[in-house]
């Protein structure tokens, strides 16, 4: 039968349609089939920024104090009936500070554009501002994880807030070569020096957690943030690591090949993937000892109207307060591929 049809088609030649048949290709009256749904997969989550507390700054330079007890000694034995001839020195708290920086997003929408009907958009200006707010929060998320020192600013130089990598100098494990902790006293005004990158191993993680525990930090309250490559490397750690997946009840046939909890000698650490941090760094953060402080909270500011368009600015003036940098840790200079 197939051979017969093939012969018929061959004899008849290419198929054609009857003259004047209405077809869609030249029909200008067909309505556009444009969906009212706009698909956007851009990640809007800000795990580090969202985990931190919120504080209030009262000036572009905001300050706080940190303190620590003297190291314990085993020689504190006194004579019976002894008089006090000298007194112990009183150690005053250290004064720490950081700067607020101004971050903003802007939008301008023409009057005709706003008045025109759009698929999936009730208001062009409203949609633009909603997107800009998400983008502004993502900018803060990325900034606080960068290697950015605090900058006081000047007439032609914007202020910059010192970030986690500029603060952390006690519990950081970094690569060789030029790798070095940032050097600062009261304001984190120096960036850390990147070292030679090396593969992320359990030995590196243990070194960070050991230093944190020795300094008095709480591993139980902390979370480690890793980029995609090193999150996978963490999940491949051997030894006594148990892969965990949080679920309401066991699911038959589920393969669990990722780890999100590390149970070590010094406590249980939560480990999560992080899109916006530096892929070469593994930050360990205790959110109880860090906050984002606002001199001016997020605000929508209509700008002067100079024509047939609405101008708007979203602005926030903020700074990172790391209450005590020894509460956190850093596995630096990790390979990323």
**Closest to 232 (Cα-Cα) out of 332, 141, 337:** 337
| pLDDT tens-digit readout, 238-271 | 765 555 555 555 566 555 556 789 998 999 999 9
Per-residue model confidence (pLDDT) at position 245 = 53
pLDDT digits (tens, 9 = 90+) for 67-119: 888 888 999 999 999 999 899 888 888 999 999 999 999 999 998 888 888 77
Give the pLDDT of residue 132.
92
Q: What are the strands, taking DSSP E only, across 205-255?
A: 223-226
Q: What is the mean pLDDT of the chain?
A: 87
- What's the pTM? 0.83
pLDDT at 5 over 90: no
Most confident of 6-10, 20-24, 38-42, 331-335: 331-335
For the chain, domain boundaries? 47-66+94-331
User: What's the length of the chain?
Assistant: 337
Tens of pLDDT, residues 221-245:
999 999 999 999 999 997 655 555 5
- pLDDT tens, position by position, 148-178: 999 999 999 999 999 999 999 999 999 999 9
So what's the pLDDT on residue 53?
93
- The answer to whether 40 and 278 have CB atoms below 8 angstroms apart is no
Give me the pLDDT at residue 45, please.
85
Q: What is the pLDDT, as a whole number, of residue 29?
A: 67
Q: Is the pLDDT of residue 318 over 80?
A: yes
Highest mean pLDDT among 7-11, 25-29, 88-92, 149-153: 149-153
Residue that is written with structure tokens 């349609």 in the block? 17
Q: Does residue 296 have a pLDDT over 70?
A: yes
Residues 6 or more apart whose CB falls under 8 angstroms from that of 184 comprise: 166, 169, 190
Q: What is the pLDDT of residue 116?
A: 86
Q: Is the pLDDT at 32 greater than 80, yes or no?
A: no
Q: Is the pLDDT of residue 28 over 80?
A: no
Identify the CA nearest to 137 among candidates 26, 37, 51: 51
């Amino acid at each position: 039968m197939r051979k017969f049809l093939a012969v018929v088609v061959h004899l008849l030649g290419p198929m054609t349609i009857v003259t004047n048949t209405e077809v869609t290709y030249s029909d200008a009256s067909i309505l556009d089939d444009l969906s009212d749904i706009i698909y956007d997969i851009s990640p809007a989550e800000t795990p580090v920024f969202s985990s931190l507390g919120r504080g209030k700054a009262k000036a572009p330079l905001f300050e706080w104090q940190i303190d620590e007890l003297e190291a314990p000694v085993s020689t504190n034995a006194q004579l019976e009936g002894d008089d006090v001839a000298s007194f112990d020195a009183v150690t005053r708290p250290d004064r720490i500070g950081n700067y607020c920086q101004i971050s903003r997003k802007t939008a301008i929408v023409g009057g005709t554009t706003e008045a025109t009907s759009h698929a999936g958009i009730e208001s062009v200006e409203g949609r633009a501002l909603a997107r800009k707010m998400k983008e502004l929060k993502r900018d803060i998320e990325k900034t606080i994880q960068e290697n950015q020192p605090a900058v006081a600013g000047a007439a032609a130089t914007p202020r910059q807030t010192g970030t986690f990598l500029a603060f952390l100098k006690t519990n950081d494990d970094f690569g060789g070569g030029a790798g070095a902790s940032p050097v600062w006293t009261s304001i984190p005004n120096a960036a850390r020096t990147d070292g030679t990158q090396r593969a992320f191993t359990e030995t590196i993680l243990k070194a960070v957690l050991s230093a944190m525990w020795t300094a008095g930090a709480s591993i139980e309250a902390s979370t480690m943030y890793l980029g995609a490559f090193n999150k996978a490397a963490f999940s491949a750690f051997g030894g006594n690591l148990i892969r965990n997946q949080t679920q309401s009840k066991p699911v038959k046939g589920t393969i669990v090949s990722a780890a999100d909890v590390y149970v070590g000698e010094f406590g249980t650490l939560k480990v999560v993937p992080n899109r916006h941090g530096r892929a070469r760094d593994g930050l360990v953060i205790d959110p109880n000892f860090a906050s984002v402080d606002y001199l001016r909270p997020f605000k929508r500011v209509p700008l002067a109207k100079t024509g047939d368009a609405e101008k708007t600015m979203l602005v926030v003036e903020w700074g990172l307060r790391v209450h005590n940098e020894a509460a956190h840790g850093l596995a630096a200079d990790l390979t990323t591929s």
